[in-house]
């Protein structure tokens, strides 16, 4: 029992500090332990907030200090006057919708706590009509958040003093005179969901009621918001209750009072903000700080990882992307994967570049699985049609086996690109040895061996294989040298790629300037004999160490065939032999090669020997018949000019040419 009383006293000391015997002073730092008189929707939350309203539609709420206050000075000798009083409280109006709220709340001084006759809505649960009755005697300080024309409201955010009627004696928009800012006016939004403090001070002697508003923690402004002259001496009953009143309309709004103090005859005790209960948070419970930091971080990392994986896959797909169609299954073993070729050539690095030819770049590589050395030629092609025929041809060519052919191992297809895989030829191409002064000179013996090898491979292509294969681009740069300095013909059939898929109405001639047979330029039709022509030029090139079309000392163009014919006409054909050999050559063989060269490069195709005949000449040392006198009067140069060559025989360097019927275009090297 004693303990109970003691604890009650302690509670009383903490929460209800009563200094005067009549209960003229109290402080509520939160209402958890308070014994308020509540009605309607009013409730005290477990956290200690006085919640005047909740969501219910058109209902009232009241909360009063349980004990009545003696407002009249009984000891007054003259007519009993109303005592001075002072109160302050912290409130918050929390709307479900930002800046949009229902009716406000009011601080009330009232003779009774029975408000059953009062109306909700704009009446704030204060009165039953605009004018109160004589028995109502309600003094209110309203914090109004709805503009009601009937009640002559100035706006939807004002503070007013009501003396027993709903129309305010005086009202002001919510705000305060900021002492820190030199007394500047600062507007406040009552329903801003932020706690604010209100002071109501009545001076009984002066009959003046002051109302002051400020954001919480801002010291009481010196200048009140409202200063209303009002004589309460006849208005006040002896005992009156103080409290709060509120009412709901249609919008979900909560009116909270966080703390409250009251005093008669002196300033209300200040509130300790640190002890006030916290407002409930709007919306869902906040995540912890850790989650606040970690969750976005983890999400960002996950997204980044997924993106990275995605881009890596796309990159990988792109990097190794190939074009593969059903029909290619038949060529299975000849198909290389791009990935293998990519890795074999260290990603087609510059340092693996062997050279740039007419059809594309050639890279050296080593197949990881077999450590086989390969050369990979990247040929760009735009034509979609014709690829199938070409691949078929490549594959069938891949079945060609001859010791003087560069072995084609297989292919790979990518968008707009074809990769051809060949045996790697250690000693590179023949034309370097013939025309590059930096390179060692080939001996006659080596040259003769190369010539015989190339002739043998051409015979194989033309006659000894199951079908006739026309090389179309016989020239020194297409003859490669293996480790034994054997000549091996490469790039066969490649010219066909440019044949396929082009407009059939125009005839494209593909080959290299200086090696093209005259009838090929005219008709565009490649035959074994056009190969023989190129081979003839090649023979002269090897024997003379000169390019098919060259410049003389006076910088005028000289066609090699014409030069050799000239020497022959002068009866000294051997003068045409490469001076770099310094006379060290087999006279008989050299004469044979030169005459055979002229014979093969005969302008009339039917006067050229077949490759079989050529090989017989080379093998049997049979003397080659002298060129006919008519041939001797030909000038290859004038012939070429007649054929319209002149416009593009400008370059002394051999280059790929593509000659259309109406247009002449030069495929630049590196294409």
Q: Which residues does the annotation place in the binding site for ATP?
A: 377
**3-class secondary structure, 179:** coil
Compute the least distance from the CB of residue 29 to ligand NAG, in Å.
17
Cα-based torsion angle of the residue sequence 649, 651, 657, 662 in order, rounded to the nearest 10 degrees: -40
- Beta strands (DSSP E) in 491-583 are 509-512, 549-551, 557-559
Cα angle value 548/553/558 (rounded, 5°): 25
Q: Could you say which of 20, 54, 233, 441 contacts ligand NAG (CB under 6 A)? A: 54
Contact between 203 and 85 under an 8 Å Cβ cutoff? The reply is no
Closest CB to ligand NAG among 135 and 523? Answer: 135
CA dihedral angle for residue 559, residue 561, residue 564, residue 569, rounded to 10 degrees:
-110
Stretch that binds ligand NAG, among 203-211, 317-325, 562-570, 603-611 (CB under 6 A): 203-211
- DSSP letter (8 states) at residue 603: S
Looking at the Cβ atoms of 30 and 487, the one nearer to ligand NAG is: 30
Residue 466 structure tokens: 């199951």
Min. distance of Cβ 23 from ligand NAG in angstroms?
12
Q: In terms of CB distance, is 63 or 539 closer to ligand NAG?
A: 63
**Can residue 77 be called a binding residue for ligand NAG (CB under 6 A)?**
yes
Region of 109-117, 174-182, 365-373, 415-423 interacting with ligand NAG (CB under 6 A): 109-117
CA distances 489 to 25, 150, 366, 450, Å, are 116, 108, 21, 10
CB of 130 to ligand NAG, least distance (A): 5
* Cα separation, 623 vs 594, whole angstroms: 12
131 binds ligand NAG (CB under 6 A): yes
Residue from 20, 45, 47, 66 binding ligand NAG (CB under 6 A):
66
**Of 7, 19, 58, 114, which one interacts with ligand NAG (CB under 6 A)?**
114
Q: How far is the CB of 35 from ligand NAG (least distance, A)?
A: 4
Question: Least distance (Å) from ligand NAG to the CB of residue 49?
Answer: 13
Among 178, 179, 203, 389, binds ligand NAG (CB under 6 A): 203
Site for ligand NAG in 255-314 (CB under 6 A): 265
Q: Does 227 bind ligand NAG (CB under 6 A)?
A: yes
**Among the listed residues 28, 48, 63, 73, the single contact to ligand NAG using CB under 6 A:** 73
The residue from 162, 473, 499, 531 that is catalytic is 473
117 part of the interface to ligand NAG, by CB under 6 A: yes
CB 65 → ligand NAG: shortest distance, Å?
A: 10
x/- binding map, residues 205-224, to ligand NAG, per CB under 6 A? ---x-x-------------x
Please state the closest distance from residue 55 (CB atom) to ligand NAG, in A.
4
Residue 58 engages ligand NAG in binding (rule: CB under 6 A):
no
Query: Which of 83/361 has CB closer to ligand NAG?
Result: 83
Residues 232, 85 contacting (CB under 8 angstroms): no
Would you state the structure tokens that stand for residue 641, as one six-digit string? Answer: 């000019």
The answer to the question of residue 43 lying near ligand NAG (CB under 6 A) is yes
CB nearer to ligand NAG: pick between 251 and 667: 251
Residue 12 in the binding site for ligand NAG (CB under 6 A): no
Give, as ranges, the residues between 610 and 649 that touch ligand NAG (CB under 6 A). Answer: none
**What is the spatial distance between Cα 601 and Cα 475, in angstroms, rounded to a whole number?**
13
Q: Decide if residue 662 touches ligand NAG (CB under 6 A).
A: no
For ligand NAG, the binding residue among 7, 14, 19, 56 (CB under 6 A) is 56
Choose between 79 and 582: whose C-beta lies nearer to ligand NAG: 79
Q: Does 37 bind ligand NAG (CB under 6 A)?
A: yes
Q: What order do you get walking across the sheet with 360-366 strand by strand?
A: 353-356, 360-366, 373-380, 417-423, 408-414
Compute how many residues bind ligand NAG; rule: CB under 6 A: 25
Binder among 7, 19, 76, 642 for ligand NAG (CB under 6 A): 76
Distance CA 637, CA 640 (A): 5
The interface region with ligand NAG, picked from 112-120, 140-148, 358-366, 494-502 by CB under 6 A, is 112-120
**Dihedral sign from CA coordinates of 8, 10, 15, 19:** positive
- What are the Cα distances from residue 623, in Å, to 464, 563, 611? 25, 21, 16
Tell me which residue of 10, 27, 232 sits closest to 109, measured CA to CA. 232
Quick check: 179 binds ligand NAG (CB under 6 A)? no
User: What character string, x for contact with ligand NAG (CB under 6 A) and - otherwise, covers 183-202?
Assistant: ------------------x-
Write down the least CB distance from residue 128 to ligand NAG, Å.
Answer: 8
Sequence ranges of the binding site: 377
- Tell me which residue of 239, 204, 22 sits closest to 111, measured CA to CA: 239
Query: Please, what is the minimum distance in Å from the beta carbon of residue 77 to ligand NAG?
Result: 6
What is the Cα–Cα distance from 154 to 577, expressed in whole angstroms? 117
Provide, rounded to whole angstroms, the least separation between the CB of residue 37 and ligand NAG.
5
Query: In whole angstroms, what is the distance from residue 340 CA to residue 421 CA?
Result: 11
Per-position DSSP letters for 353-378, written without gaps between them = EEEE-SSEEEEEEE-TTT--EEEEEE
- How many C-beta atoms surround the C-beta of residue 537 within 10 A? 28
Residue 423: CB atoms within 10 A of its CB come to: 18
Select 60 or 595, whichever has its Cβ closest to ligand NAG.
60
Q: Distance between CA atoms of 91 and 243, rounded to whole angstroms?
A: 13
* DSSP characters over 182-242: TTEEEE--TTSSS-EEEEEEEETTTTEEEEEEEETTSPPPSS-SEEEE---TTT--SEEEE
State the distance between the two ends of the chain, measured CA to CA, in whole angstroms.
Answer: 108
Q: How far is the CB of 188 from ligand NAG (least distance, A)?
A: 19
Residue with Cβ nearer ligand NAG (114 or 506): 114
Of 59 and 610, the one with the shorter C-beta distance to ligand NAG is 59
Position of minimal CB gap to ligand NAG: 73
Nearer to ligand NAG, 110 or 512 (CB): 110
Is residue 133 close enough to count as binding ligand NAG by CB under 6 A?
no
* Residues 517, 509 contacting (CB under 8 angstroms): no
**Strand, coil or helix: what is 659?**
strand
User: Nearest CA to 627 among 589, 587, 597?
Assistant: 597
Q: What does residue 211 show for φ and ψ, rounded to 5 degrees?
A: -125, 130
162 is catalytic: no
- Single residue of 9, 130, 278, 298 touching ligand NAG by CB under 6 A: 130
- The smaller minimum CB distance to ligand NAG, of residues 8 and 311, is found at 8
Which phi and psi (to 5°) does residue 331 adopt? Answer: -100, 15
Tokens 């002449």 belong to residue:
664
Does the footprint of ligand NAG cover residue 41 (CB under 6 A)?
Answer: yes
Which DSSP state fits 12? Answer: H
Binding mask 82-101 for ligand NAG (x = CB under 6 A): -x------------------
Give the whole-angstrom CA distance, residue 459 versus residue 393: 19
CA 290 to chain centre: 29
Residue numbers annotated as active site: 473
Binding site for ligand NAG (CB under 6 A): 35, 37, 41, 43, 54-56, 66, 73, 75-77, 83, 114, 116-117, 130-131, 201, 203, 208, 210, 224, 227, 265
């Amino acid at each position: 029992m004693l303990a109970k009383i003691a604890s009650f006293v302690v509670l009383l000391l903490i929460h209800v500090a009563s200094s005067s015997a009549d209960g003229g002073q109290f402080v509520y730092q939160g209402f958890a332990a308070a014994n308020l008189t509540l009605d309607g929707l009013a409730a005290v939350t477990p956290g200690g907030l006085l919640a005047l309203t909740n969501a219910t539609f058109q209902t009232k709420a009241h909360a009063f200090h349980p004990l009545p206050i003696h407002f009249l000075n009984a000891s007054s000798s003259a007519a009993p006057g109303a005592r001075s009083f002072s109160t302050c409280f912290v409130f918050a109006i929390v709307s479900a919708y930002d800046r949009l709220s229902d009716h406000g709340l009011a601080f009330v001084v009232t003779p009774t706590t029975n408000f059953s006759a009062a109306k909700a809505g704009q009446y704030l649960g204060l009165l039953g009509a605009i004018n109160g009755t004589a028995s109502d005697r309600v003094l209110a300080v309203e914090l109004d958040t709805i503009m009601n024309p009937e009640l002559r409201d100035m706006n939807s955010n004002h503070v007013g003093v009501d003396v027993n009627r709903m129309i305010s004696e005086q009202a002001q928009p919510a705000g305060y005179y900021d002492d820190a800012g030199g007394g500047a006016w600062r507007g406040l939004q009552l329903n801003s969901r932020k706690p604010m403090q209100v002071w109501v001070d009545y001076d009984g002697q002066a009959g003046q009621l002051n109302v002051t508003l400020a954001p919480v923690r801002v010291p009481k402004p010196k200048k009140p918001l409202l200063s209303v002259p009002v004589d309460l001496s006849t208005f006040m009953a002896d005992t009156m209750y103080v409290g709060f009143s509120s009412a709901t309309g249609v919008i979900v709004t909560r009116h909270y009072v966080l703390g409250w103090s009251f005093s008669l005859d002196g300033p209300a005790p200040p509130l300790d903000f640190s002890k006030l209960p916290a407002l409930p948070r709007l919306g869902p419970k906040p995540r912890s700080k850790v989650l606040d930091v970690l969750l976005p971080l983890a999400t960002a990392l996950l997204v980044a990882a997924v993106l990275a994986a995605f881009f890596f896959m796309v990159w990988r797909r792109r990097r190794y992307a190939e074009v593969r169609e059903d029909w290619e299954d038949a060529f299975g073993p000849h198909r290389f994967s791009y990935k293998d070729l990519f890795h074999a050539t260290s990603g087609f690095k510059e340092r693996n570049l062997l050279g740039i030819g007419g059809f594309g770049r050639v890279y050296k590589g080593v197949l990881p699985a077999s450590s086989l050395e390969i050369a990979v030629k990247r040929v760009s092609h735009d034509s979609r049609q014709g690829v199938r025929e070409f691949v078929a041809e490549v594959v069938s060519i891949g079945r060609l086996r001859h010791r003087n052919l560069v072995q084609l191992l297989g292919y790979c297809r990518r968008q707009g690109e074809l990769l051809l895989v060949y045996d790697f030829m250690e000693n590179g191409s023949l034309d370097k040895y013939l025309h590059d002064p930096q390179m060692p000179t080939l001996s006659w013996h080596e040259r003769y061996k190369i010539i015989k090898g190339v002739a043998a491979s051409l015979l194989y292509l033309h006659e000894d294989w199951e079908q006739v294969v026309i090389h179309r681009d016989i020239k020194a740069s297409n003859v490669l040298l293996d480790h034994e300095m054997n000549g091996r013909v490469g790039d066969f059939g490649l010219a066909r790629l440019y044949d396929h898929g082009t407009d059939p109405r125009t005839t494209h001639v593909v080959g290299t300037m200086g090696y093209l047979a005259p009838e090929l330029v005219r008709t565009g039709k490649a035959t074994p004999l056009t190969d023989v022509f190129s081979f003839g030029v090649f023979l002269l090139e090897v024997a003379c160490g000169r390019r098919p079309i060259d410049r003389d000392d006076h910088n005028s163009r000289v066609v090699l065939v014409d030069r050799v014919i000239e020497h022959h006409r002068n009866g000294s054909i051997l003068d045409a032999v490469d001076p770099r050999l310094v006379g060290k050559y087999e006279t008989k063989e050299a004469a044979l090669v030169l005459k055979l060269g002229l014979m093969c490069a005969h302008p009339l195709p039917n006067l050229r020997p077949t490759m079989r005949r050529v090989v017989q000449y080379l093998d049997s040392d049979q003397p080659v018949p002298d060129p006919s006198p008519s041939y001797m009067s030909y000038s290859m140069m004038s012939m070429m000019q007649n054929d319209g060559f002149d416009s593009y025989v400008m370059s002394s360097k051999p280059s790929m040419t593509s000659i259309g019927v109406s247009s002449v275009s030069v495929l630049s090297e590196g294409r």
